[in-house]
């Protein structure tokens, strides 16, 4: 039986507050699907609705084609990994993992067997008799995942499971999670505010802002072809330059900005006269050397920041600084603050989107 | 005979002061730890005051009176003129009396008092269970479900009735459960019975009164324990397949065990030692053990006998509580947490 998750016209309100607005989505069977968005955008609310802790105010949630309304969390084919893990502190690691089996009346020996299997999978063999408090953060994390997997759910829901870990461990756990997902082959719905996590792990990503789903697509689609200014500014670093569309030409739009006329891809069918924002990524801006660029920005240096592999050059932009990311090949010139320089970019690297809300960190 | 207690107390006090002075002399602020540091930081006068007042409180309010009672319980009931005389020697006869009755009595055991004793313990257990059954849902609701406004209102509703004093409350219950009381009127109006039920004789009034009296002592430890349970754990249990009652048995109750233990201990101990409620609400045939103790002290005029009875009650209660705690694997440290 398929276990795709369909959200149809999903709306969730808390009193007057509209937390989730009209989401339509089909999460495929066996997919690693992420909801990405800043905190407070309604990600947890969606996840809780899927797992059965709150009901949709409007619309439907279907798993494997079946409407889930009226099924409690204990009756759905889902398992939730909580943001704070919520391991049972008085139970051993093995008891935690096999808790769902105990509830289902599975015999003690079989429970132990299943727990050992799962402990193997999360590389914690032989640690079943410890208490959760005796494990490290990363180990506890894996126990929480194993506990949820013990139910053999069709859909595993993960609510920012890595947010409590430090950077190195987080990066390691990304790989680990992906490995586990491929091994068990079930649908994972993953929530995060960390675009790095979403981009590296997911088959597809839904970018959310204020309860609205901004875009759904693969990591490449979302990164390379952002559909809205919010996505363009939230996923990865981006420079934004405001203007009005002046000319359209086979898929490209030219806009008039304070730096003169600039051109980028017109994916959203803008018309002449529309207010627009041009987005160009820091690594796609280059210092003027000998290459002739279609687009040239002449402005002053604000700051030069050394980052190791990269050096970031902050330039005076139209509202915020423009950032140029230079690969540190050992001969980046030093710029004086206030010096006038020119940077250029290719039109195919830039995207022009209708003016709208942006994500500001 | 017990005149040695006061000199002993002053001797201990003096010894303490000397110890403090010595420690103070030998300690310096930089090198010393713990106790010496405490002395240096507060100065010798303040330190002595703090320590002596603490020990004084422990000694004079708690230990000394109980020591007198222990002393009493092993003494003979003599008229004042004979106290200190040749007949004033220690004896275990007061304890023996509870077990075997008067010397040369007809029965080999003092069944009358032993039965009352046992019934008191059992009744206190029943009261404790009733309170637990009533308070657990309320405490759970307050700790995990209610909004903060609702919580305040509920806490107020629970607290306010306890401003009414014990005697008034007991007599009010008597009226409530009396043959012409509200309970009977309602039952008869509903047609459930055509004769008034004697709630007093059936001890319904007594159990209700006692349960009600110690409600708060059960609710607050339970509330405290359940309140510190992360709500996500409840949801996790549900998500992993628990029905609602399973959530309680598998997750909430084990977590709240220290609170349950501490509430139950208090309710049990106080129920065993209750006097007013059994006096006022108890049926004519049901004596509470405390009533017998009271009779010994009061109308019986036999303080040693009363003291012995009271001590047996105290000891058995403590042993019983310890045994139950052992059974449920609760440590003493958890209770007072
Ligand atoms: N039970 C609730 N009652 C009222 N408002 C809520 C409730 N749960 C969440 N919200 C609100 O809904 C919004 C989205 O919350 P949430 O889904 O937790 O965001 P996040 O994307 O950070 O997980 C927040 O503004 C939050 O305050
Ligand atoms: Mg959240």
pLDDT in tens, A50-102: 999 999 999 999 999 999 999 999 999 999 999 899 999 999 999 999 999 99
**pLDDT at residue number A292:** 79
**pLDDT at residue number A278:** 96
Greater model confidence, B8 or A307: A307
Q: In this complex, do B235 and A86 lie within 8 Å of one another by their Cβ atoms? A: yes
Residues of chain B contacting A86 with CB distance shorter than 8 Å: 230, 232-233, 235-236
The nearest CA of chain A is from the CA of B5 a distance in Å of 48
Q: A19-40, pLDDT tens digit by residue?
A: 999 999 999 999 999 999 999 9
Phi, psi torsion values for A299, nearest 5 degrees: -155, -175
User: What band does A360 get if pLDDT is binned at 50, 70 and 90?
Assistant: confident
For residues B238, B239, B240, B245, the Cα torsion angle rounded to the nearest 10 degrees is 10
Beta carbons of B258 and B225 less than 8 angstroms apart: yes
State the first-to-last Cα distance of chain A, in angstroms, to the nearest integer.
42
Residues of chain B contacting A88 with CB distance shorter than 8 Å: 233, 236-237, 251
Candidates A83, A84, A87; CA nearest to A95 is: A87
Nearest CA to ligand 1 atom 1: A14
Report pTM: 0.83
Consecutive H or E run containing A340: strand A340-345
**pLDDT at residue number B1:** 46
Candidates B287, B172, B271; CA nearest to B215 is: B271
Helix (H, G, I), strand (E, B) or coil at A359: coil
d(CA A49, CA B113): 63
Beta carbons of B17 and B48 less than 8 angstroms apart: yes
Q: Which residues of A touch B (CB under 8 A)?
A: 51-53, 72-74, 78-80, 82-84, 86, 88-90, 99-100, 102-104, 147-148, 151
Structure tokens at A273: 């006269």
Across A205-213, average pLDDT: 95
Beta bridge partners, A31, equal: none
Across A124-129, average pLDDT: 92
* A45 Cα nearest atom in ligand 1: 17
The ipTM value here is 0.85
Q: What is the DSSP string of A220-259?
A: HHHHHS-SSHHHHHHSS--EEEEEEEEEEETTEEEEEETT
Substitution candidate for ligand 1 out of A16, A18, A19 with most atoms within 8 A of CB: A19
Q: Along chain B (337 residues), what's the average pLDDT of each consecutive run of 10 residues?
A: 67 79 69 69 79 83 84 84 80 86 78 90 95 96 93 91 86 86 87 83 88 93 95 95 94 94 94 90 83 89 89 92 88 72
Lay out the sheet containing A295-306: strands in order across: A286-287, A340-345, A295-306, A310-315, A322-327
Q: Within 13 Å, how many C-alpha atoms sit on residue B294's CB side?
A: 11
Q: In this complex, do A80 and B251 lie within 8 Å of one another by their Cβ atoms? A: no
Q: In this complex, do A88 and B239 lie within 8 Å of one another by their Cβ atoms? A: no
d(CA B143, CA B135): 12
* Residue A33 vs residues A190, A198, A210: alpha-carbon distances, Å: 6, 9, 19
d(CA A78, CA A75): 8
Q: What is the DSSP string of B82-124?
A: GTTSTT----SHHHHHHHH-STT-SSSS-HHHHHHHHHHHHHH
* Residue B294 vs residues A175, B213, B235, B316: alpha-carbon distances, Å: 75, 20, 52, 18
Lay out the sheet containing A17-27: strands in order across: A17-27, A5-14, A58-63, A66-67
Task: Kindly tell me the sign of the dihedral angle through the C-alpha atoms of A112, A113, A118, A122.
Answer: positive
From the number of C-beta atoms within 10 Å of its C-beta (0-12, 13-18, 19+), residue B334 rates as middle
DSSP strand pairing (A275-280 vs A286-287): unpaired
Q: In this complex, do A103 and B236 lie within 8 Å of one another by their Cβ atoms? A: no
b/e per residue B282-306 (b: at least 16 CB within 10 A): bbeebbbbbbbbbbbbeeeebbbbb
Consecutive H or E run containing B305: helix B303-327
Nearest CA to ligand 1 atom 14: A42
- Ligand 1 touching residue A206 (CB < 6 A): no
Structure tokens at A202: 């997911």
Candidates B99, B95, B124, B98; CA nearest to B218 is: B124
Beta carbons of A25 and A3 less than 8 angstroms apart: no
Q: Within 13 Å, how many C-alpha atoms sit on residue B64's CB side?
A: 17
Kindly report the three-state secondary structure assignment for every residue of B160-196: HHHHCCHHHHHHHHHHHHCCCCHHHHHHHHCCCCCCC
10 Å Cβ neighbour count for A13?
Answer: 15
Q: In this complex, do A86 and B233 lie within 8 Å of one another by their Cβ atoms? A: yes
Is 3.40.50.300 the CATH number for B111-336? no
Beta carbons of B204 and B196 less than 8 angstroms apart: no
Q: What are the extents of the domains in chain B?
A: 2-73, 111-336
d(CA A221, CA A188): 20
**pLDDT at residue number A226:** 95
- Ligand 1 touching residue A14 (CB < 6 A): yes
Beta carbons of B170 and B276 less than 8 angstroms apart: yes
Q: Which residue of A has its CA nearest to B256?
A: A90
10 Å Cβ neighbour count for B125?
Answer: 17
**pLDDT at residue number A329:** 85
Beta carbons of A118 and A149 less than 8 angstroms apart: yes
Q: In this complex, do A100 and B241 lie within 8 Å of one another by their Cβ atoms? A: yes
Question: How many angstroms separate the most distant Cα atoms in chain B?
Answer: 84
d(CA A132, CA A88): 8
d(CA A68, CA A62): 6
b/e per residue A271-307 (b: at least 16 CB within 10 A): eeebebbbbbbbebbbeeeeeebbbebebebbebeee
């Amino acid at each position: 039986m398929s276990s795709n998750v369909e959200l149809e016209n999903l709306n969730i309100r808390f009193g007057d507050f509209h937390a989730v607005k009209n989401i339509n989505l089909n999460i495929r069977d066996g997919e690693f699907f992420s909801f990405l968005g800043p905190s407070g955008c309604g990600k947890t609310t969606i996840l809780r609705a899927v797992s059965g802790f709150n009901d949709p105010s409007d619309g439907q949630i279907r798993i494997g084609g079946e409407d889930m309304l009226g099924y409690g969390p204990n009756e759905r084919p889902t398992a939730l990994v909580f943001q704070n893990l919520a391991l049972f502190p008085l139970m051993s690691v093995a008891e935690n993992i096999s808790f769902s089996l105990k509830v289902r009346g599975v015999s003690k020996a079989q429970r132990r067997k299943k727990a050992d299997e799962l402990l193997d999978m999360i590389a914690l063999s032989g640690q079943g008799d410890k208490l959760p408090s005796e494990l490290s953060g990363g180990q506890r994390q894996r126990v929480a995942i194993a506990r949820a997997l013990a139910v053999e759910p069709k859909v595993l829901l993960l609510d920012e499971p890595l947010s409590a870990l430090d950077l190195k461990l987080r990066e390691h756990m990304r790989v680990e999670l992906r490995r586990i997902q491929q091994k068990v082959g079930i649908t994972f719905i993953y929530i995060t505010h960390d675009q790095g996590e979403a981009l590296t792990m997911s088959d597809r990503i839904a970018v959310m802002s204020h309860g609205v789903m901004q875009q759904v697509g693969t990591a490449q689609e979302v990164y390379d072809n952002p559909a809205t200014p919010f996505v363009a500014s939230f996923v990865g670093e981006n420079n934004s330059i405001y203007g009005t569309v002046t000319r359209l030409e086979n898929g490209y739009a030219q806009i008039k900005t304070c730096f003169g006329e600039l051109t980028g891809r017109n994916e959203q069918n803008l018309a002449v006269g529309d207010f627009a924002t041009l987005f160009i990524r820091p690594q796609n801006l280059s210092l003027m050397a000998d290459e002739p660029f279609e687009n040239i920005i002449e402005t002053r240096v604000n700051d030069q920041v050394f980052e190791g592999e990269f050096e970031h050059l902050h330039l005076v932009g139209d509202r915020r600084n423009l950032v140029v990311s230079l690969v540190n090949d050992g001969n980046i010139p030093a710029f004086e603050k206030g010096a006038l320089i020119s940077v250029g970019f290719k039109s195919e690297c830039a995207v022009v989107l209708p003016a709208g809300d942006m994500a500001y960190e | 005979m017990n005149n040695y207690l006061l000199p002993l107390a002053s001797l201990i006090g003096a010894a303490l002061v000397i110890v403090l002075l010595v420690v103070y002399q030998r300690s310096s602020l930089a090198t010393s730890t713990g106790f010496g540091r405490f002395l240096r930081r507060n100065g010798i006068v303040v330190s002595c005051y703090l320590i002596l007042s603490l020990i004084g409180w422990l000694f004079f309010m708690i230990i000394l009176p109980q020591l007198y009672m222990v002393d009493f319980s092993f003494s003979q009931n003599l008229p004042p003129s004979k106290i200190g005389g040749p007949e004033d020697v220690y004896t275990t006869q007061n304890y023996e009396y509870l077990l075997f009755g008067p010397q040369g009595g007809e029965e080999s055991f003092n069944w009358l008092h032993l039965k009352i004793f046992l019934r008191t313990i059992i009744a206190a257990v029943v009261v404790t269970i009733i309170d637990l059954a009533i308070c657990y849902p309320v405490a759970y609701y307050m700790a995990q479900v209610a909004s903060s406004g609702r919580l305040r209102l509920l806490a107020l509703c629970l607290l306010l009735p306890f401003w009414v004093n014990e005697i008034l409350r007991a007599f009010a219950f008597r009226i409530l459960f009396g043959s012409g009381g509200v309970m009977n009127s309602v039952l008869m109006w509903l047609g459930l019975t055509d004769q008034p039920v004697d709630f007093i004789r059936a001890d319904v009034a007594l159990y209700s009164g006692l349960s009600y009296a110690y409600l708060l002592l059960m609710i607050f430890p339970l509330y405290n324990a359940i309140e510190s349970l992360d709500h996500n754990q409840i949801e996790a249990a549900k998500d992993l397949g628990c029905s609602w009652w399973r959530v309680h048995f598998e997750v909430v109750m084990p977590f709240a065990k220290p609170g349950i233990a501490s509430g139950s201990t208090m309710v049990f101990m106080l129920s065993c030692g209750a006097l007013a409620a059994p006096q006022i609400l108890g049926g004519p045939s049901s004596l509470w053990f405390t009533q017998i103790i009271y009779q010994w002290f009061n109308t019986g005029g036999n303080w040693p006998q009363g003291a012995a009875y009271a001590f047996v009650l105290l000891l058995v209660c403590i042993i019983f509580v310890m045994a139950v705690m052992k059974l449920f694997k609760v440590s003493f440290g958890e209770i007072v947490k």
